[in-house]
Chains A and B, each alone.
Chain A
Amino acid sequence: MHYTFDFMSVFVNWPRLLDGAWLTIQLSALSTISGFVLGTLCAIAFKSKSRLLQTLVKMYVEIIRNTPLLVQVFLVYFGLASLGLRLSAETAAVIALTVNVGAYTAEIMRAGINSIHAGQIEAAECLGMSKFHVYWHVVLLPAVERVYPSLTSQFILLMLSSSITSQISAEELTATANLIQSETFRSFEVYVVIAVAYLALSFLFRGAFWLIGKTAFVRKRKLGTNL
């Protein structure tokens, strides 16, 4: 094996890699937030009494969870363009990622809402809380707290799978790496560097989610017990 590793040609491009990483963070953060909202709304809709809403949500979740993200990304980017709706690669990426993570969040949140004991809701009603207050304080917030670990790992998986959007040339970390390797032919080195970058990003996200969990769940912080 006569191969000399040359990481310098990768590192001279570090501003571009940094830009790519920043876009990865932006894409992931945006689609995490919107996907969480979408998923929670779907979970609430699933718990409603309307049969139609239930079927719609079920179909949405099953279709998304049983098809690859890559195909979903292609459908959003190329499919919508062929219908005359031209989106930038980044917008298409955010939409596809949101729709994707929304389905997974819906399933997780449904489990969380299911885990709330009926007695809790009855007790809250006896205290004279309004319907909205019951739903917000007694159902939704404790449900999120309970499923927070699963949500977190789902969102980190989302951050990692945002690399797939490089296939529609959204210029995030992987796409930047693809560009650099096509200029320098240092493919292995580039991918080693971004593998380490992704590892660092996943630790960063884990830390961020831990911090959010610490600030958001006051009860848990004060008592230190699980719900």
Chain B
Amino acid sequence: MTSFSFLHVEYLLQAALWTVLLSLVAFVCGGSFGFVIALGRISRSPLLRRLASLYIQVVQGIPLLVVLFLTYFGLAIAGFKLSPLMAAGISFAVYCAAFLGEIWRGCIEAVPKTQWEASECLGFNRFEQLQKVILPQAFKIAIPPTVGFMVQIVKNTSLASVIGFLDLSRAGQIINNSTFQPFTVFGCVALIYFCICYPLSALSKHFERKLNVSNR
């Protein structure tokens, strides 16, 4: 039995890099797919709207853990041999897309309706309306909740450990199995997560205050 040492901390920090990497993959992939979902939710075609909202309802009604298992085993059945990083990345993209899509739909709808009408009067087509008038304004509204959701992503990547992805939580479990000092090990793990997440939370709050100047 070895005791918890500086070497272990180094191992944890290395694993933390994987956590950050997976979070970035999840955010980029989930974000692009989520953007499509958000556009689907505000589309003029009822079918697209229905499909997007069905997707959101289903994914938000299933635990991320089960989404992870489903992608991991489901893709294996379909004949894809995926590394845990790929499998985790895909599951997180699926999961984040549902939440980000719903968040961003709210932000797009928060842009006053008169903006749509005014831009229509200027002769913009729907694409131009979105690109030149609505999205730039929605983007500003979307920053605080999106940064806030990044915290959720980082925390949720801890679940990737169950399909064998060597992230911060998995590293913690491995070290705990050899040192039997759960309080120190998981306390340290929690501290590293906190150091990643707290700045993001604070940033989100900062943006929110900045945006809310009139209501202060």
Contacts and interface: CB of A to CB of B under 8 A. Distances in A.
Interface in B142-165: 151, 155-159, 161-162
B66 interface: yes
Contact of B73 (A1, A74, A191, A198): A191
B179 to A, nearest CB: 11
How would you classify the secondary structure of chain B's contact residues: helix, strand, loop or mixed? helix
A191 B110 CA distance: 37
B66 A194 contact: yes
B123 interface: no
Contact of B156 (A65, A68, A188): A68
A1 B198 contact: no
Interface size class of B (residues with CB under 8 A): 35 or more
A163 interface: yes
B193 A174 contact: no
B194 A67 contact: yes
A164 B66 CA distance: 10
Interface residues of A, number: 37
Interface of B: 58, 60-67, 69-70, 73-74, 77-79, 151, 155-159, 161-162, 169, 172-173, 176, 180-183, 186-187, 189-190, 193-194, 197-198, 201
Report the 3 A-B pairs with minimum CB-CB distance, sorted nearest first: A78-B182, A68-B158, A66-B197
Interface of A: 1, 3, 62-63, 65-72, 74-75, 78-79, 81-83, 160-161, 163-164, 166-167, 174, 177, 187-188, 191-192, 194-195, 198-199, 202-203
14 contacts: A66-B197, A66-B198, A67-B194, A68-B193, A71-B158, A71-B190, A74-B169, A78-B186, A79-B183, A188-B77, A191-B69, A192-B70, A198-B62, A199-B62
